[in-house]
Amino acid sequence: MSNFNTTPISKSTKFSEVSGALANLTGVVSVQEIIDTIKQIDNMKTKTLVNMKTNASYDPNDTSVVNLDELYVDMTYQRIIRLQKLINKLKKLSGFDMYSAGVIDVAVRPSEEKFVWDGLRRCIMAGLCGLKNIKASTFTHPMNSSVSECQRQEARYFKSRNADQESMKAEEIFKSEVVYGDPKALELLKLIKNCQLDIEGLNPGGRLFGGFVEVRNNYFMQDNISNEFFVESSRIVRDVYKDETVSGYLLTGLAYLLQKNEDAEQAYSVDEIIESLEKYTSVNPKQTQLIHGRLAGNARGSIAYLIATRALKDKNGLLHSIGLDTETMDVIDAAA
């Protein structure tokens, strides 16, 4: 299969480097290779795993038992592997308990490879505790299924199984929605790509951004912000700030200001806005400094207000166009 990851995950024995490699996995990866890569970390076997216990006694002749070295994972729709979080959970449980672990879920593709679509972390934990196999519930894709059809089906099951769990982040749910072709998710991904941003590795060449939920909610709300202003806002933020990550709050607040600026009687040019931001950031270089004091109930409006007062030092009436009442502006000023 062309989407199999054939390069070693990492040859490093340092925890930080292996952790980084696991967090950035893409495509199809062998579950056993993940386990072996973690085990090669300095002191992992002799210190971290030495006291880990397991009560598992899977019968390899049981048809519901699968070998870990036969399993693959498709990171196209899976959650990022956060190694420290996984190790902490393993320590908390003092090992691997077969009863609380239950069964993992496996899909057999037409190529006959077995893909774990739910239970990857349990597989890794079992392998780290010395197990060679694990119990699974298995379904088989139709023989005429393409790779993308298999991915969409597994992603749909994955999202259905995990979306309501508190531990699954909105970004991770979004990633699985993109894979199985949810129309709204694909629409939002198009915007993200147009903004030259990246979330969950879905647009690798873009700048990372945080505050995904804020961007998503404002894009789909009834009084939404138009695409063009999100794209313009992203360009400005990426040019003015050199941070590795773009703040979704700043992105949204600036986009909202740009949209309101278009209707202002005495509007600012984009160049004037950029010059004002550059002057402000020469003294206050962090994105958080500009948006400090935003209101939880109206982040985009309050951030637009903060940009207008702090960077633009508005005297042209833009503050009036933003539409905040006097009481709200007083609350923002007091919080700032």
pLDDT digits 0-9 by tens, 223-281: 889 999 999 999 999 999 988 999 999 999 999 999 999 988 889 999 999 999 999 99
pLDDT at 229: 96
Q: Which residues in the chain come in under a pLDDT of 70? A: 1-3, 5-6, 163-167, 336
pLDDT at 168: 77
pLDDT at 6: 64
Type of residue numbered 109: R
Under CATH, which architecture does the 15-169 domain have?
Alpha-Beta Complex (3.90)
pLDDT at 165: 60
State pLDDT tens for residues 224-240.
899 999 999 999 999 99
Domain boundaries, the chain: 15-169, 184-335
Instruction: Name the phi and psi angles at 185, rounded to 5.
Output: -65, -40
